[in-house]
Amino acid sequence: MKIALAQINPTVGDLNGNVDRILRYARRAHRQGADLVVFPELSVTGYPPQDLLEHPAFVEAVQEALDRIAAAVPQDLGVIVGAPVPNDDTVGNRLYNAALLLENGRRHAEARKSLLPTYDVFDEHRYFEANEAPSVIEWCGLRIGLHICEDMWNAHQQAQPRTYERDPLGELAAQDPDVFINISASPFSIGKHDDRNALIEQICADHRRPFLLCNQVGANTEIIFDGDSRIHHADGTQTACAASFEEDLLFWDTDEAASTCTVRRDDTADLHDALVLGIRDYYEKTDIFTKALVGLSGGIDSAVTCALAAEALGPERVLGVTMPSEISSEGSVSDSEALADNLGIEFAKIPIKPAIDAFGDMLAPAFEGTEPGVAEENLQSRARGVTLMALSNKFGHLLLSTGNKSELAVGYVTLYGDTNGGVAVLSDVLKTRVYELARHVNARAGRAVIPQNTIDKPPSAELREDQKDTDSLPPYEVLDAILMRYIEQKKEAPRIVAETGYDPSHVRDVLEQVDQNEYKRRQTPPGLRVTRKAFGVGRRMPIVGRWHRPAAEPVTTDEPVTTER
């Protein structure tokens, strides 16, 4: 039997577009000899459909879409798709997250998701009922251990403490399947490829069955899916692998001898490709913008954001705007102009001195008797924000926010200034990684697309004379080491001090800045998620609260290892 994995990029809620895409790939797979073609989790609706699932009309339209797929696929071709289906019981949530095997105009079989993740960006218990007893599906003589995404993630021996009591793969393995097939909407985060490898190798070692994974690709708002679909032999050897960050069709013949597929991944390259995909899909799937708009400061963050946007959308669909004030250095303008020339994008210069002067005159009576400070400095950022939003409003441009995760973490941003925008491209990228991205962009292009001066000069907000970020923040190498441990690894001050050797008072100060600036982050645009713990929908912290971390002696023991899908 020849099985195809169709790694597609569905759009949330676009039932007609998703059905067309499923049928197009099904016919293509059939032409290439496939007997069975497999699509990702919730491929009919896109993932995550969120509260669309609470609308009866939407759920009814999904069932009609399933009927259309079943009626239109080629005869004698089996098609596995993911979709919500109604739960007819009088108790429980009204839907199941299901994998349906369609054939010859009908629903041949159905598998329902057993483990429903409710952590980080996942909220499936809000909508779905858990399957209580997974069963092997028989089709054309093949016994398929069909299951959905999270159902495989409790099998890893490193998953301690275990999130669930059940092991759906163990339950399926007891029924003697010929092959495991997993349909997934498993988001990208840095290092996820290696996590999947280790997990599936362990599953194969435990159960000695071939394992096929079909994962969604594409981006829906904050969440980016890398694809990374693959086929593993019963001994765990990866025998075939799909492309990452793009649609692909992968084939496996049950009668052919196993080959070997080795993929070497580079974290910075993956990060680059994920962000490019995130920008492109946000722009194209919303389908309301004419161009992308980036405020160019001559600094590293805006330069990297602009370069990623130009790659994602093409230089003809990107506008870079520099907005110098009296404080701006000569390099802020010249480096911005050089970047625009290197990328081939449209470029504009709009000085903000008239706005700053007008604000100064307007506020002078109210500010009388006070010393100039942060409020006056931030007028520059807010004047730029007003300028960019006016351009966005006038011409229908998508404003890309350029702030990085390090700055957002400690509140080193100006509300209604540099936080303006439709999507925050670098909000999950620590500053040190931004520099890595800049060097990667230049290395990939084989030339200094991002001017070397932009990379070399000390970072500065340029809101006062001779200002440097280190006037207010620790060096980014120090800050990022603390932030990564606190935000992404959930470690507290004593453990961070033990691991880094940094001054305990400095570590606590950083952690308290993170906690105190939740109100700022809540007002920023949605950000592209590329780590295990991003600001936004996956990190839900109270704005109002008085939890004060206790003082404690440094510790040296390691935390338990956890896994996520």
Which residues participate in catalysis according to the annotation? 41, 113, 149
Supply the angle between the helices 476-483 and 431-445 in degrees, to the nearest 10: 110
235: closest CA among 253, 258, 264?
Answer: 258
Cα separation values, 135 from 77, 96, 110, 138, 175, Å: 22, 15, 9, 10, 8
Positions of E strands within 378-477 = 398-401, 423-424
Query: Which residue type, as a one-letter code, is found at position 298?
Result: G
Task: With H, G, I as helix, E, B as strand and everything else as coil, classify residue 108.
Answer: strand
Give the separation between CA 340 and CA 324, rounded to whole angstroms.
Answer: 16
Phi, psi angle pair for 92, to nearest 5°: 105, 175
Q: Helix 15-31 vs helix 56-72: angle between axes, to the nearest 10 degrees?
A: 20
As given in the structure block, the two tokens for residue 296 are: 């160019």
Question: Are β-strands 2-7 and 217-220 bridged in parallel, bridged antiparallel, or unpaired?
Answer: unpaired
Q: SS3 of 546, please?
A: coil
| Cβ-contact 199, 153 below 8 angstroms | yes
C-beta separation of 33 from 21 below 8 A: no
Q: Using DSSP, state whether 36 is helix, strand or coil.
A: strand
Computed from CA positions of residues 473, 538, 417, 333, in that sequence, does the dihedral angle turn out positive or negative?
positive
Collapsing DSSP to helix, strand or coil, 112 comes out as: strand
CB contact burial 100-124 (16+ within 10 A = b; e otherwise): bbbbeeeebbbbbbbbbbeebbbbb
* Lookup: tokens for 383: 């004047």
The token pair at 384 is 């730029």
C-alpha closest to that of 244 among 199, 195, 193? 193
Continuous segment of H or E residues that includes residue 138 = strand 137-139
Closest by alpha carbon to 38, among 87, 65, 86, 1? Answer: 1
Cα–Cα dist 407/272, whole Å: 20
Q: How far apart are CA 8 and CA 40, in angstroms?
A: 7
